[in-house]
Amino acid sequence: MKHLPLFFDVAGRKVVVVGDSPAADRRAATVLSAGAAVTQVATAEAADFAGAVAAFISTGTEEGDRAAHRVARAAGVPVNVADRPALCDFILPAIVDRDDVVVAVSTGGASPTLATVLRGKIEAALPERISALAALARTFRAQANALISRPADRRAFWRRLVEGPAARLVLAGDIAGARRVVLGELDGARRGDGAPGIAHIVGAGPGDPDLLTLRAAQLLQEADAILHDDLVPPAILARARRDAELVAVGKRKGHVRWAQRDIEAEMIRRVRAGQTVVRLKAGDPFVFGRGGEELQALCDAGLLVAVVPGITAALGIAASVGIPLTDRRHASSVTFLSGHAAAEGGTAGRTHVVYMGASEAASVRDRLLDAGVAATTPVAIVENGTRPDERVSTGSLADLARLATSHHSLGGAGPSLIIVGEVARLATPTAQPLLAKVS
Ligand SMILES: C[S@@+](CC[C@H](N)C(=O)[O-])C[C@H]1O[C@@H](n2cnc3c(N)ncnc32)[C@H](O)[C@@H]1O
């Protein structure tokens, strides 16, 4: 190890930045984001360093850097000089900054480019809301340490908080749900009970492992058990944690195929036993995937369940073979049908998903009514879908125009999509991308 990695608390302390180059400005901004009192000067004099705990130098010339370095060292202040490792007392690592969670990468000055590439990989691997998880742990730290006296129980509690159901809820944006889970687990830990686990109904995409979502890939690394369809290829199952139990529920069990209700019962049994279960399905779990029934079964059992979308076969294949499904020169709609339904006419049993329709909701309504869709058909307007500010309004087709007006009068200039069909009745009216229920 060439340098000792330390995290230095500079909050409220004086840090000097010498130079007005872009590199100096970047350093000033970084140090400022850690709460330091930054003094930035174009050229340095001894008095500038009085009381400083560190100095960053990037004047743009070698002569200027060396002069500033001499003054800072004479004042006894540790120095970093940009791109001049021989003059550095400490180096500035490549940083992944997610509030409380900070990862620093160094190659000992050998290759800043390698450090940047590694930082990019770590950025991609870290869930977007990892800092919210750290904040959750901070909230319960004192309480948990006071309530759980045995060190082994305490370790198990913390491990479960950062890897278990509460963590999955936080990472999916449901902070309130996560807090409820932690409170339940604190109670259980105090009484010595085992807490239930969580099920994730996950889309595996069309088959190329690189088309897994980041969340799916993370969950494959966390699951205790993966219940998968036979359409999920070995290359994707190879991404699972080495000691995860793989259960092929699409395959024949003896001579009998797993029935849907047996799969649901197996998920419930494992979640009740405290496992993190991934139910891995080809494509997207809600597109011809029976994911809705599994979600319902877990909710009815009062257990935690979350859905992770995947790239449905139609979209994966369209990209793979170069068919732009709604190329505006040729098509303005696309329909996903199951083979059984392909020969059926009419609109009953169809789901229409309308892109770019919210600003012309009255005309969307009229065209669907003209096409024979019943006025009582449920509709859902979903704005900013999957984002923290997701918002859902539900009603019936006859009401669509009024619904769109009232939806937009409450804020919403974000992107929205209209879902029309009996399934729109199932939309949860919350801002959470996660459907979860705590027993
Ligand atoms: C029960 S459906 C599951 C669909 C899946 N939930 C989805 O969103 O793609 C199974 C059908 O999806 C289609 N399918 C799934 N993966 C495919 C792939 N990689 N290539 C072609 N078709 C695929 C086939 O028509 C297959 O019979």
Beta strands in 69-160 (DSSP E): 79-81, 94-98, 101-105
Tokens read off for 412: 């919403």
Q: State whether the beta carbon of 206 lies less than 6 angstroms from ligand 1.
A: yes
pLDDT at 435: 44
DSSP 258: P
Q: State whether the beta carbon of 291 lies less than 6 angstroms from ligand 1.
A: no
Contact 54, 78 (CB under 8 A): yes
Place of tokens 């939309």: 427
pLDDT at 391: 87
Q: Mean pLDDT for each consecutive 10-residue tract of the chain (439 residues)?
A: 90 96 94 95 93 96 95 96 92 90 89 91 89 94 86 79 88 90 84 78 94 93 92 94 92 70 96 92 94 94 92 92 88 80 66 87 94 93 83 93 88 83 81 39
Task: Give nearest CA residue, ligand 1 atom 22.
Answer: 313
Q: State whether the beta carbon of 289 lies less than 6 angstroms from ligand 1.
A: yes
**Contacting residues for 191 by C-beta, under 8 A, at least 6 apart:** none
Task: Give nearest CA residue, ligand 1 atom 14.
Answer: 313
Task: Judge residue 80's burial from the number of C-beta atoms within 10 Å of its C-beta, 0-12 exposed, 13-18 middle, 19 or more buried.
Answer: buried
**Contacting residues for 278 by C-beta, under 8 A, at least 6 apart:** 199, 200, 202, 219, 220, 223, 225, 226, 227
As a whole number of angstroms, the distance between CA 427 and CA 319 comes to 29
Query: Is 229 noted as a catalytic residue in this protein?
Result: yes
As a whole number of angstroms, the distance between CA 275 and CA 129 comes to 23
pLDDT at 349: 81
> Residue 389: CA atoms inside 13 Å, Cβ hemisphere, count?
9
pLDDT at 111: 87
Q: Which atom of ligand 1 is nearest to the CA of 314?
A: 9
Long-range contacts of 96-105 (CB under 8 A, 24+ apart): 96/122, 96/123, 96/126, 97/33, 98/126, 98/130, 98/131, 99/131, 99/134, 99/135, 100/131, 100/134, 100/135, 100/138, 101/126, 101/130, 101/131, 101/133, 101/134, 102/7, 104/5, 104/7
pLDDT at 33: 93
pLDDT at 252: 58
Q: State whether the beta carbon of 309 lies less than 6 angstroms from ligand 1.
A: no
If you measure from the C-alpha of residue 282 to the centroid of ligand 1, how many angstroms do you get, rounded to a whole number? Answer: 6
Tokens read off for 286: 């809600």
Q: Which atom of ligand 1 is nearest to the CA of 312?
A: 8
pLDDT at 431: 38
- Taking each helix axis from N to C terminus, what angle separates 361-370 and 400-409, rounded to the nearest 10 degrees? 160
Query: Is 300 noted as a catalytic residue in this protein?
Result: no
Q: State which H helix or E strand residue 384 sits in.
A: none
Task: Give nearest CA residue, ligand 1 atom 19.
Answer: 206
**Contacting residues for 161 by C-beta, under 8 A, at least 6 apart:** 136, 137, 140, 144, 167, 182, 185
Q: State whether the beta carbon of 312 lies less than 6 angstroms from ligand 1.
A: yes
pLDDT at 436: 45
As a whole number of angstroms, the distance between CA 295 and CA 265 comes to 12
Q: State whether the beta carbon of 205 lies less than 6 angstroms from ligand 1.
A: no
Strand, coil or helix: what is 78? coil
Buried b (16+ CB within 10 A) or exposed e, 232-255: beeebbebbeeebeebebbeeeee
Which mutation among 232, 279, 288 tests ligand 1's pocket best, with the greatest number of atoms within 8 A of CB?
A: 288
Which mutation among 213, 228, 231 tests ligand 1's pocket best, with the greatest number of atoms within 8 A of CB?
A: 231
Strand, coil or helix: what is 148? coil
Place of tokens 């369809």: 229
As a whole number of angstroms, the distance between CA 132 and CA 222 comes to 19
The one catalytic residue among 251, 262, 300, 437: 251
